[in-house]
């Protein structure tokens, strides 16, 4: 289960990533942030963002045009 969910559906680059940064800052290390997005570019972007920040992209799935990511905060 995610510790927090960020609904970034309908938002365009760069807002999903910028909002994810804000959201993950409020979590404790090891906690999981779930992100929902509709921007197809978010697929590559959340993988890149996770590599840049050192957070772990635990899962990336898509269903009915909605992308769902789970990112575990590093630490």
Partner 1 sequence: MGDPNKVTIIACSGDLDKAYPILILASTAAASGKEVTIFFSFWGLFILKKNDGKLIGKDWMTKMLSFIHRGGSDRLKLSQYRMGGMGTWMMNQVFRKNKVAKLSELLDMCRELGVRMIPCQMTMDAFGMTMNDLVEGVEQPVGAATAIEYASESGINWFI
Tell me if 46 contacts partner 1 by CB under 8 A: no
In Å, the largest CA–CA distance within the chain is: 33
Site track for partner 1 across 48-67, x = CB under 8 A:
xx--xxx-------------
Can 13 be counted among the known catalytic residues? yes
Distance separating alpha carbons of residues 62 and 36, to the nearest angstrom: 9
Contact yes or no for 6/42 (Cβ under 8 A):
no
The secondary structure element, H or E, covering residue 21 is helix 15-25
Nearest distance, CB of residue 7 and partner 1, angstroms:
13
Residues that bind partner 1 (CB under 8 A): 10-15, 17-18, 20-22, 48-49, 52-54
* Residues with a known catalytic role: 13
């Amino acid at each position: 289960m995610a510790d927090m969910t960020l609904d970034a559906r309908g938002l365009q680059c760069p807002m999903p990533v910028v909002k994810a940064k804000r959201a993950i800052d409020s979590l404790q290390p090891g906690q999981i942030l779930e992100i929902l997005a509709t921007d197809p570019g978010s697929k590559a972007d959340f993988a890149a963002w996770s590599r840049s920040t050192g957070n772990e992209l635990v899962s990336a799935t898509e269903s009915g045009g909605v992308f769902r990511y789970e990112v575990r905060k590093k630490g």
